[in-house]
Amino acid sequence: MSDTNYDPVIVGFLCQWCSYTGADLAGTSRMEYPANLRSVRVMCSGRVDPTFVIEALAGGADGVLIAGCHPGDCHYSEGNYRAMRRFPLLKSLLDQFGIENERVRLEWISASEGERFAEVVTEMTAELKELGPLNLKGKLTSTGKAPAA
């Protein structure tokens, strides 16, 4: 049920110390991978408030990636564990809203894993193409205030 004209939008929250650097590496190494991910640099994957993920989806993203340092390697020691702990609850919540689990991913990508980054983005793009657009913006009944009577 994929729309052939549909190009998935992925918002990626990438931690400054590992994953963002890893993404940079993919770029400087001239790796080819789909251009569907819009990156947002955060200091730590633990900084990712679930509200960001939901805002991204409500704002037009078809999928969201959260990427951080491998467990044990967090620049702030504990931060990525927070991301790890929040993630299953976030998926359950989104599931209750009718949003497929495949649309959100949590990955550990180190600064030297440019190839891994490219792989993840390629995989996600293909999966989202298959799932179809989320198009929450079109489906929400009204955001914010109604026009004055």
Residue 65 in 3-state DSSP?
A: strand
Binders of other proteins among residues 55 to 74 (CB under 8 A) are 55, 57-58, 71
How far is residue 77's CA from residue 79's CA, in Å, rounded to a whole number?
6
50 near other proteins (CB under 8 A): yes
142 near other proteins (CB under 8 A): yes
133 near other proteins (CB under 8 A): no
Binding-site string for other proteins from residue 6 to residue 45, where x marks contact by CB under 8 A and - marks none: ----------------------------------------
99 closest CA partner among 142, 135, 143, 52: 135
Q: Are 110 and 73 in contact (CB under 8 A)?
A: yes
Q: What's at 5, amino acid-wise?
A: N
- Which of 10, 26, 42, 54: binder of other proteins (CB under 8 A)? 54
Binders of other proteins among residues 82 to 101 (CB under 8 A) are 82, 84-90, 92-93, 96-99
4 vs 142, which CB is nearer to other proteins? 142
Q: Which two tokens stand for residue 93?
A: 């919540």
How far is residue 130's CA from residue 49's CA, in Å, rounded to a whole number?
27
